[in-house]
Amino acid sequence: MSEARQRIRARFRKGERVRHISHLDVLRYWERAIRRAELPLCYSQGFTPHPKIAFAAPLPLGFIGEGEIMEVLLEERVPLDRFAADLSAQTTADLEIREASEVALGLPALPTLLRWADYRIPLEGVTPEHAIESVNAFLATETFPWRQEREGKKAREYDLRAGVASLTTTDVEGSAALDARLSCGQELTVRPEQLVAALFPTATVERYVRAGLVLEEPSAALRAWREKGRYE
């Protein structure tokens, strides 16, 4: 692997027109965009070198992502404004960089830092009154045992309530919509489809929007170290 000199964390959007593009194709898209922007991307060693691009969590097929996170390792240091501008010039409005920041090379791998995912879920066939009643009843419970059937795999049983940090409803032109912060880490991941199936089994969801991802904050010492401009 070429030696990494810089680790850049970028938030990006995956919009409506590309929501059915697979995660692998998204990776290839960013690799091509970075190469066209002539940014010094790091690659692994071996017969088939792989670009050193990491994602916090793959976005399920068909979902819109408003605040996805990826990290890119570069073998030469590049000013952040140049990284963002040059890469943005190679992208479309439906796969675009929202912001970029530099993080310490020594931080743990990006997926291990992920803790929560925020979702916006429009519900068809559910009135706002019904949604409020169901959400309040769910939030009032201490536990909510849930069994997730998986095709070709053993069913998964877990406490759905433990994986929901917050859940609210809004009225969108007479129909209900949910705003949910769900566990999205190595210990427990709650998919929004399971939340809807548990609370609103007859509802229809045309599209799910992952509004953002929440990472575990680094320690105070590491934050101070980073603020001094040391990223090694």
> What pLDDT, on a 0 to 100 scale, did the predictor assign at position 93?
86
Neighbour-count burial of 224, counting CB atoms closer than 10 A to its CB (0-12 exposed, 13-18 middle, 19+ buried):
exposed
The pLDDT of residue 68: 98
Angle (CA) 49-50-51 rounded to 5° is 125
Q: Is the pTM of this model over 0.75?
A: yes
- Tell me, what's the pLDDT at 6? 96
Q: Which pLDDT score, from 0 to 100, does residue 228 have?
A: 58
What's the pLDDT at 71? 98
Task: Specify which residues 156 forms β-bridges with.
Answer: 148
| pLDDT reported for residue 222 | 57
**End-to-end alpha-carbon separation of the chain, Å?**
17
- Rounded mean pLDDT for each run of 10 residues along the chain, 232 residues in total: 88 96 96 96 88 96 97 96 94 92 92 96 94 97 90 86 96 92 91 96 95 82 56 50
Domains along the chain with CATH numbers: 6-103 (3.30.70.580), 113-214 (3.30.70)
Q: What is the pLDDT of residue 186?
A: 79
What is the rounded CA–CA span in Å between residue 18 and residue 3? Answer: 33
